[in-house]
Structures are given as structure tokens and as C-alpha cells.
């Protein structure tokens, strides 16, 4: 049984001779905040356009809730691809009434609720033109929340906002995630993604560099992988290894965590030797993904 909300399989998209996506695949687990990360032009918006049926892929496929995309599955997905064209001379309340009448998502009663969620209830009768950029963006997210969809898809939700506006959107996304919604968002801000996302897919020039849980993908520590015939004995011995910040048994081996750049394999080796343990594995998984990030964000 799959718990993937969205499953993307080998999607490719060309714009004429430009290859925007070269066959990307990844799954979005239920209840996560999933960041699609990559520099400008890496294919983030194209990916979102395809999964929202705004663009057609040249090849590959995707499923929502284990089913092909359909009007029925689309009803469970709220999205914000581009800032909607709100009427400047109307209030937030009236703008959402119009959005609701056009989209037929939810009922008129949902509007007040949505305005509370996005922290605009106190300004609901103010004209849209009097709003700050952050408030405008929160109203756009509010429009995506109409009908209470289980899944939300946002393209660069913090684009153009100041640090306060960015923090407000971050808090809103966290609140929505706490309510159990699955959130998929594209961003080129590594820092932002790290603060809010539980999972990421990293794109570069239309190919997938890596995908998975943030704490696995964005390694900012050294991990020494250590093995011996008696793994439990090794684990017990290494529990008290000085300088280590954590220990985990993983696939029959011991993973020992250290602050970035501080793991010394020779010290682990001599320590184990002094305890009468002969190692059959000793490797450092230092910065491999960080190196990928560096490569990714520097050209
Ligand atoms: P950004 O962060 O700048 O929005 P992105 O990661 O979302 O970038 P896309 O917008 O998906 O990237 O673009 C991927 C590639 O496809 C880029 O090379 C872009 O120039 C190209 N592209 C996107 N839309 C079109 C289009 N309508 N016609 C031609 N080329 C396009």
C-alpha cells in the first residue's frame, strides 16, 4: 500500500528545443511539507504546471492519491501558481466571494474561516490596494484554501516578500501542515526550505539531483558508518565515544554522528581496537549532499 499523495514517474517536458524536464521521478508522502528546490530555470514551475494539469508533459506520468488526475482529484488540491488577479478596489471579503463564485470551491461560509486562517480577519473589509505585499500573498493563499483541500501546491510563496512577510508565510505553512494538510511548494531559497519543509526534491537543469527527507538530504554533520561482526557489542562500545553527538543502528551497521568536519576515523578505529573489536567497515559520509547543493546553487 502506498502512502504517497503524489507520485511522479519519469516526467519529461520540452519547450521546442529547450528540455525543461528530463525524466524526473519522486513521491510526495502524505502529511509532509515538500519543497521542490532548484535555481532559476531548473524546472520547478514546469513540474508544478504539469501536476496541476496546466501543462502537458511530453512523456511520463503522475498520480494523485494513487489515481490518474481527474476533476475529482483536483477538487482535493488547492493551488497558487501565480498571484491571482484580485480587484484592487474591493475588500478581501469581496475578492474571496468572487473567487469562490468562479471556482465553486467550498461554500460562502468558508470565507470568514479562511480569512481567520490567513490572519486577515481584522482587515477583511479593507481594500486590497491598502494591503502590504505580505497580506496580498496571504490572501492569495486564502483563495487556495477555499473548499478546505487536503493538498496545497504553492509556487515560490515567499517571492518578493521582506523578512517579516517571509516569516508570516512560514508560520502559516507550518500551521496548515499541523492541521494535517500536505503542502508542496517550489522555492529557490535553500534556507527557507530548510526551515519549513520536511522533504525536498532538488532539481538542476531539468534533472533530479536528489529527493527525500530533509534530515537525510541536507546533511550538515559528519556520519561515520562503522561495522563489526557483533554489531550490538560495537553499538554499546561506541555509545560513549567522545565528541559524538548521536548514534544509530542502521542496516546492521552503527552510524555515529559528529558536528560537521570533526569525525576522525583513525580515532574511532583505535578506540574500537582498544575495546577488542575488529572493524569490518569504517567510512565517512561527509558532506556528499552538501557538495551537491554547492554544485546546484553555484551555476
Ligand atoms: P524560476 O525559479 O525562474 O521560476 P523554474 O525552476 O521554475 O525557474 P521553469 O520555469 O520550469 O523553471 O523553466 C524551466 C526551463 O524551461 C527554463 O529553461 C525556461 O527558460 C524554460 N521555459 C519555461 N517556460 C517556457 C515557455 N513557455 N517557453 C519556452 N521555454 C520555457
pLDDT at position 179, please?
93
pLDDT at position 11, please?
97
Ligand 1: distance of its center to the CA of 268 in Å? 48
Ligand 1: distance of its center to the CA of 16 in Å? 12
The predicted-structure confidence for 212-241, as pLDDT tens digits, reads as follows 888 777 666 788 999 999 999 999 999 989
Report the chain's terminal Cα–Cα distance, integer Å. Answer: 40
- Could you list the mean pLDDT of each consecutive 10-residue stretch along the chain, which spans 299 residues? 85 95 96 89 94 95 93 92 88 95 88 94 95 93 94 92 89 93 88 83 88 75 91 93 86 87 93 96 72 57
Whether the CB of 188 sits within 6 Å of ligand 1: yes
Please name which of 147, 167, 3, 10 lies closest in space to residue 157, comparing C-alpha atoms. Answer: 167
Whether the CB of 36 sits within 6 Å of ligand 1: no
pLDDT at position 5, please?
95
Whether the CB of 50 sits within 6 Å of ligand 1: no
pLDDT at position 202, please?
86
Give the residue whose CA is nearest to atom 26 of ligand 1: 15
Whether the CB of 204 sits within 6 Å of ligand 1: no
pLDDT at position 97, please?
95
Cα torsion through 79, 81, 87, 90, rounded to 10? 40
How many CA atoms are closer than 13 Å to the CA of 267, on its beta-carbon side? Answer: 12
pLDDT at position 1, please?
44
The ligand 1 atom at the shortest distance from the C-alpha of residue 186 is 7
Amino acid at each position: 500500500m502506498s502512502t504517497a499523495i503524489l507520485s511522479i514517474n519519469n516526467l519529461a517536458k520540452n519547450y521546442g528545443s529547450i528540455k525543461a524536464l528530463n525524466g524526473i521521478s519522486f513521491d510526495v508522502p502524505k502529511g509532509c511539507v515538500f519543497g521542490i528546490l532548484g535555481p532559476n530555470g531548473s524546472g520547478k514551475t514546469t513540474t508544478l504546471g504539469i501536476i496541476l494539469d496546466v501543462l502537458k508533459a511530453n512523456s511520463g506520468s503522475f498520480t494523485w492519491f494513487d489515481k490518474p488526475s481527474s476533476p475529482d482529484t483536483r477538487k482535493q488540491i488547492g493551488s497558487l501558481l501565480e498571484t491571482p488577479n484580485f480587484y484592487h478596489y474591493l475588500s478581501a471579503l469581496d475578492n474571496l466571494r468572487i473567487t469562490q463564485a468562479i471556482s465553486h470551491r467550498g461554500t460562502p461560509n468558508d470565507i470568514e474561516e479562511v480569512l481567520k486562517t490567513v490572519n486577515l480577519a481584522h482587515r477583511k473589509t479593507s481594500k486590497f490596494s491598502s494591503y502590504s505585499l505580505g497580506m496580498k500573498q496571504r490572501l492569495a493563499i486564502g483563495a487556495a484554501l477555499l473548499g478546505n483541500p487536503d493538498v496545497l501546491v504553492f509556487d515560490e510563496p515567499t517571492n518578493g516578500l521582506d523578512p517579516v512577510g517571509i516569516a508570516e508565510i512560514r508560520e502559516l505553512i507550518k500551521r496548515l501542515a499541523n492541521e494535517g494538510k500536505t503542502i508542496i511548494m517550489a522555492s529557490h531559497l535553500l534556507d527557507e526550505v530548510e526551515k519549513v519543509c520536511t522533504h525536498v526534491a532538488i532539481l538542476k537543469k531539468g534533472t533530479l539531483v536528489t529527493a527525500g527527507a530533509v534530515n537525510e538530504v541536507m546533511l550538515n554533520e559528519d556520519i561515520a558508518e562503522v561495522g563489526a561482526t557483533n554489531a550490538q557489542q560495537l553499538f554499546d562500545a561506541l555509545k560513549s565515544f567522545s565528541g559524538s553527538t548521536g548514534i544509530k543502528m542502521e542496516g546492521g551497521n552503527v552510524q555515529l554522528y559528529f558536528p560537521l568536519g570533526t569525525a576522525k576515523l583513525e580515532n574511532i578505529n583505535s578506540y574500537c581496537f582498544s575495546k577488542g573489536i575488529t572493524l569490518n567497515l569504517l567510512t565517512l559520509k561527509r558532506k556528499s549532499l552538501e557538495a551537491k547543493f554547492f554544485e546546484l546553487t553555484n551555476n
